Amino acid sequence: MPKQKVGASTATAYNAPALEKGLDILELLSSVSQPMSLAEISQAVARSKSEIFRMLHVLERRGYLERPAGSDHYRLTNRLFRLGMERPPLKGLLDIAMPLMHQLSDDTQQSCHLVVPSEEFMVVIARIDPPADLGLVVRIGHRRPILSATSGLVLTAFQLESVRERWLTDYIKVLPTKEREGLRERVAGIASKGYAAISSLVVPGITDVSAPVMHQGVAVAAVTIPYMKRYGVEVSQKQATQMLLGVAKTITGRLG
Protein backbone atom coordinates (compact mmCIF):
# COMPACT_ATOMS: atom_id res chain seq x y z
CA MET A 1 0.00 0.00 0.00
CA PRO A 2 1.55 3.36 -1.00
CA LYS A 3 2.43 5.81 1.73
CA GLN A 4 0.38 8.96 2.15
CA LYS A 5 2.35 11.91 0.78
CA VAL A 6 3.00 14.87 3.03
CA GLY A 7 0.66 17.70 2.08
CA ALA A 8 -1.91 15.41 0.48
CA SER A 9 -5.53 16.53 0.48
CA THR A 10 -6.58 14.24 3.31
CA ALA A 11 -5.88 15.78 6.69
CA THR A 12 -6.54 14.73 10.24
CA ALA A 13 -9.05 16.87 12.06
CA TYR A 14 -8.03 17.44 15.66
CA ASN A 15 -10.38 18.69 18.33
CA ALA A 16 -9.48 20.84 21.33
CA PRO A 17 -12.82 21.59 23.01
CA ALA A 18 -11.42 23.77 25.79
CA LEU A 19 -9.45 25.91 23.32
CA GLU A 20 -12.49 26.26 21.09
CA LYS A 21 -14.58 27.45 24.04
CA GLY A 22 -12.00 30.09 24.86
CA LEU A 23 -11.76 31.26 21.26
CA ASP A 24 -15.55 31.42 20.97
CA ILE A 25 -15.64 33.71 24.01
CA LEU A 26 -12.83 35.97 22.78
CA GLU A 27 -14.34 36.28 19.30
CA LEU A 28 -17.75 37.05 20.77
CA LEU A 29 -16.52 39.78 23.11
CA SER A 30 -14.42 41.33 20.35
CA SER A 31 -17.57 41.83 18.28
CA VAL A 32 -19.67 43.67 20.89
CA SER A 33 -19.38 47.15 22.38
CA GLN A 34 -20.80 46.42 25.85
CA PRO A 35 -19.66 43.99 28.59
CA MET A 36 -21.65 40.75 28.76
CA SER A 37 -22.79 38.61 31.68
CA LEU A 38 -22.12 34.92 32.10
CA ALA A 39 -25.69 34.14 31.07
CA GLU A 40 -25.47 36.33 27.95
CA ILE A 41 -22.17 34.80 26.88
CA SER A 42 -23.52 31.31 27.52
CA GLN A 43 -26.51 31.95 25.29
CA ALA A 44 -24.49 33.64 22.54
CA VAL A 45 -21.94 30.81 22.20
CA ALA A 46 -24.59 28.11 22.67
CA ARG A 47 -22.85 26.49 25.63
CA SER A 48 -24.03 25.91 29.18
CA LYS A 49 -23.00 28.28 31.94
CA SER A 50 -21.18 25.46 33.72
CA GLU A 51 -19.13 24.82 30.55
CA ILE A 52 -17.80 28.35 30.26
CA PHE A 53 -17.63 29.49 33.90
CA ARG A 54 -14.14 28.06 34.43
CA MET A 55 -12.99 29.31 31.03
CA LEU A 56 -14.06 32.87 31.90
CA HIS A 57 -12.19 32.63 35.19
CA VAL A 58 -8.98 31.51 33.46
CA LEU A 59 -9.21 34.20 30.77
CA GLU A 60 -9.75 36.83 33.44
CA ARG A 61 -6.83 35.55 35.53
CA ARG A 62 -4.54 35.60 32.48
CA GLY A 63 -5.52 39.19 31.70
CA TYR A 64 -7.55 38.67 28.53
CA LEU A 65 -10.85 39.59 30.19
CA GLU A 66 -11.83 42.00 32.93
CA ARG A 67 -14.93 43.02 34.86
CA PRO A 68 -15.62 46.70 35.49
CA ALA A 69 -15.65 47.63 39.17
CA GLY A 70 -18.86 46.56 40.83
CA SER A 71 -20.02 44.54 37.82
CA ASP A 72 -20.22 40.84 37.00
CA HIS A 73 -20.10 41.52 33.25
CA TYR A 74 -17.02 40.64 31.17
CA ARG A 75 -15.20 42.61 28.50
CA LEU A 76 -11.95 42.22 26.58
CA THR A 77 -8.78 43.90 27.79
CA ASN A 78 -6.09 45.17 25.40
CA ARG A 79 -3.90 42.12 26.02
CA LEU A 80 -4.66 40.48 22.66
CA PHE A 81 -4.05 43.79 20.91
CA ARG A 82 -0.69 44.19 22.66
CA LEU A 83 0.31 40.67 21.66
CA GLY A 84 -0.56 41.45 18.05
CA MET A 85 1.59 44.58 18.16
CA GLU A 86 4.59 42.45 19.16
CA ARG A 87 4.53 40.60 15.83
CA PRO A 88 7.85 41.40 14.09
CA PRO A 89 6.38 43.16 11.00
CA LEU A 90 4.17 45.49 13.08
CA LYS A 91 6.77 46.05 15.77
CA GLY A 92 9.30 47.02 13.10
CA LEU A 93 6.81 49.44 11.57
CA LEU A 94 6.09 51.03 14.95
CA ASP A 95 9.78 51.33 15.82
CA ILE A 96 10.35 53.25 12.61
CA ALA A 97 7.16 55.30 12.58
CA MET A 98 6.82 56.52 16.17
CA PRO A 99 9.80 58.94 16.33
CA LEU A 100 8.83 60.41 12.96
CA MET A 101 5.21 60.79 14.03
CA HIS A 102 6.28 62.59 17.21
CA GLN A 103 8.24 65.06 15.07
CA LEU A 104 5.31 65.43 12.67
CA SER A 105 2.97 66.27 15.52
CA ASP A 106 5.40 68.85 16.91
CA ASP A 107 5.93 70.43 13.49
CA THR A 108 2.25 70.61 12.54
CA GLN A 109 0.80 71.23 16.02
CA GLN A 110 -1.73 68.50 15.20
CA SER A 111 -2.33 64.95 16.40
CA CYS A 112 -1.60 62.04 14.06
CA HIS A 113 -2.19 58.30 14.01
CA LEU A 114 -1.12 55.18 12.17
CA VAL A 115 -3.56 52.63 10.78
CA VAL A 116 -3.25 49.19 9.20
CA PRO A 117 -5.80 47.02 7.37
CA SER A 118 -7.42 44.12 9.20
CA GLU A 119 -9.80 42.24 6.90
CA GLU A 120 -12.70 44.63 6.20
CA PHE A 121 -11.57 47.14 8.84
CA MET A 122 -8.88 49.71 9.33
CA VAL A 123 -7.37 49.64 12.84
CA VAL A 124 -5.46 52.38 14.67
CA ILE A 125 -2.21 50.91 16.02
CA ALA A 126 -0.46 54.09 17.18
CA ARG A 127 -1.25 57.72 17.90
CA ILE A 128 0.53 60.90 18.90
CA ASP A 129 -1.40 63.46 20.92
CA PRO A 130 -1.20 67.09 19.80
CA PRO A 131 1.35 69.29 21.61
CA ALA A 132 -1.33 71.99 21.95
CA ASP A 133 -4.32 71.88 24.28
CA LEU A 134 -6.79 71.19 21.48
CA GLY A 135 -6.86 68.46 18.87
CA LEU A 136 -8.71 65.34 17.82
CA VAL A 137 -7.30 62.15 19.31
CA VAL A 138 -8.31 58.69 18.06
CA ARG A 139 -7.86 55.87 20.55
CA ILE A 140 -5.50 53.00 19.84
CA GLY A 141 -7.47 49.94 18.77
CA HIS A 142 -10.25 52.01 17.18
CA ARG A 143 -11.54 50.37 14.03
CA ARG A 144 -13.95 51.31 11.27
CA PRO A 145 -15.05 49.69 8.01
CA ILE A 146 -12.11 50.24 5.71
CA LEU A 147 -14.15 51.95 2.98
CA SER A 148 -15.80 54.43 5.34
CA ALA A 149 -12.60 56.06 6.63
CA THR A 150 -10.19 58.36 4.80
CA SER A 151 -7.20 56.29 5.88
CA GLY A 152 -9.02 53.14 4.80
CA LEU A 153 -9.60 54.60 1.33
CA VAL A 154 -5.89 55.37 1.13
CA LEU A 155 -5.05 51.78 2.08
CA THR A 156 -7.46 50.59 -0.60
CA ALA A 157 -6.15 52.91 -3.30
CA PHE A 158 -2.61 51.60 -3.03
CA GLN A 159 -3.22 47.86 -3.25
CA LEU A 160 -2.63 45.50 -6.13
CA GLU A 161 -5.47 45.85 -8.63
CA SER A 162 -6.91 42.41 -7.79
CA VAL A 163 -6.89 43.14 -4.05
CA ARG A 164 -8.32 46.62 -4.51
CA GLU A 165 -11.17 45.29 -6.64
CA ARG A 166 -11.95 42.54 -4.12
CA TRP A 167 -12.10 45.08 -1.26
CA LEU A 168 -14.33 47.39 -3.28
CA THR A 169 -16.64 44.53 -4.20
CA ASP A 170 -16.80 42.74 -0.85
CA TYR A 171 -16.57 45.56 1.67
CA ILE A 172 -18.86 48.10 0.02
CA LYS A 173 -21.91 46.17 1.25
CA VAL A 174 -21.66 47.59 4.78
CA LEU A 175 -21.75 51.21 3.59
CA PRO A 176 -24.89 53.36 3.48
CA THR A 177 -26.14 53.84 -0.06
CA LYS A 178 -25.04 57.49 -0.10
CA GLU A 179 -21.43 56.57 0.70
CA ARG A 180 -21.30 54.01 -2.12
CA GLU A 181 -21.85 56.61 -4.83
CA GLY A 182 -18.69 57.42 -6.74
CA LEU A 183 -16.54 55.29 -4.44
CA ARG A 184 -14.38 53.84 -7.21
CA GLU A 185 -13.80 57.30 -8.65
CA ARG A 186 -12.74 58.59 -5.24
CA VAL A 187 -10.29 55.72 -4.76
CA ALA A 188 -8.88 56.28 -8.27
CA GLY A 189 -8.46 59.98 -7.50
CA ILE A 190 -6.56 59.19 -4.30
CA ALA A 191 -4.25 56.82 -6.19
CA SER A 192 -3.56 59.51 -8.79
CA LYS A 193 -3.00 62.27 -6.22
CA GLY A 194 -0.88 60.18 -3.85
CA TYR A 195 -2.84 61.03 -0.70
CA ALA A 196 -6.34 61.92 0.52
CA ALA A 197 -7.77 65.02 2.18
CA ILE A 198 -11.44 64.52 3.02
CA SER A 199 -13.74 66.38 5.39
CA SER A 200 -14.57 64.12 8.31
CA LEU A 201 -18.01 62.53 8.29
CA VAL A 202 -17.76 62.07 12.06
CA VAL A 203 -16.41 65.37 13.40
CA PRO A 204 -17.44 68.65 11.70
CA GLY A 205 -14.55 71.03 11.10
CA ILE A 206 -11.94 68.27 10.79
CA THR A 207 -10.22 67.36 7.53
CA ASP A 208 -8.61 63.93 7.54
CA VAL A 209 -5.35 64.07 5.62
CA SER A 210 -3.84 60.64 5.02
CA ALA A 211 -0.85 59.25 3.13
CA PRO A 212 0.22 55.65 2.43
CA VAL A 213 3.20 53.82 3.86
CA MET A 214 4.36 51.49 1.11
CA HIS A 215 6.20 48.17 1.18
CA GLN A 216 6.86 46.00 -1.85
CA GLY A 217 4.54 48.10 -3.96
CA VAL A 218 1.45 48.13 -1.74
CA ALA A 219 0.19 50.19 1.21
CA VAL A 220 0.84 48.38 4.49
CA ALA A 221 -0.23 51.34 6.63
CA ALA A 222 -1.42 54.93 6.43
CA VAL A 223 -0.36 57.97 8.46
CA THR A 224 -3.23 60.35 9.11
CA ILE A 225 -3.58 63.87 10.50
CA PRO A 226 -7.08 64.91 11.62
CA TYR A 227 -6.35 68.52 10.68
CA MET A 228 -8.06 71.12 12.82
CA LYS A 229 -7.78 74.79 11.88
CA ARG A 230 -7.15 76.78 15.06
CA TYR A 231 -6.20 80.32 16.00
CA GLY A 232 -2.55 80.60 16.92
CA VAL A 233 -1.43 77.66 14.75
CA GLU A 234 0.45 79.00 11.74
CA VAL A 235 0.88 75.70 9.89
CA SER A 236 -1.71 75.56 7.11
CA GLN A 237 -3.39 72.38 5.94
CA LYS A 238 -1.31 72.53 2.75
CA GLN A 239 1.93 72.77 4.75
CA ALA A 240 0.84 69.98 7.10
CA THR A 241 0.04 67.81 4.08
CA GLN A 242 3.54 68.27 2.67
CA MET A 243 5.06 67.37 6.04
CA LEU A 244 2.83 64.30 6.25
CA LEU A 245 3.85 63.15 2.78
CA GLY A 246 7.50 63.55 3.73
CA VAL A 247 7.05 61.41 6.87
CA ALA A 248 5.16 58.69 4.98
CA LYS A 249 7.90 58.63 2.35
CA THR A 250 10.61 58.36 5.01
CA ILE A 251 8.86 55.48 6.79
CA THR A 252 8.45 53.75 3.42
CA GLY A 253 12.16 54.14 2.69
CA ARG A 254 13.22 52.79 6.06
CA LEU A 255 10.93 49.76 5.78
CA GLY A 256 13.02 48.88 2.77
Q: What is the DSSP code string of 14-37?
A: P--HHHHHHHHHHHHHHT-SS-B-
What pLDDT score was predicted for residue 188?
95
Chain segment 1-27, per-residue pLDDT in tens: 444 444 444 456 777 888 888 888 888
Selection from 59, 135, 130, 101 nearest residue 221 by Cα: 101
Separation of alpha carbons 99 and 111, rounded Å: 14
Domains located in the chain, CATH noted: 17-77 (1.10.10.10), 83-255 (3.30.450.40)
Banded pLDDT at 97 (limits 50, 70, 90)? very high
Separation of alpha carbons 108 and 224, rounded Å: 12
Asked if the model's pLDDT at residue 136 lies above 80, the reply is: no
| Region 60-75 average pLDDT | 87
> Please, is 15 exposed, middle or buried when counting C-beta atoms within 10 Å of its C-beta (0-12, 13-18, 19+)?
exposed
What pLDDT score was predicted for residue 243?
97
Q: What average pLDDT is seen over the chain?
A: 86
| Region 250-254 average pLDDT | 95
Question: Are the CB atoms for 41 and 74 separated by under 8 Å?
Answer: yes
Chain segment 161-220, per-residue pLDDT in tens: 999 999 999 988 888 888 888 899 999 999 999 999 999 877 788 999 999 999 989 999
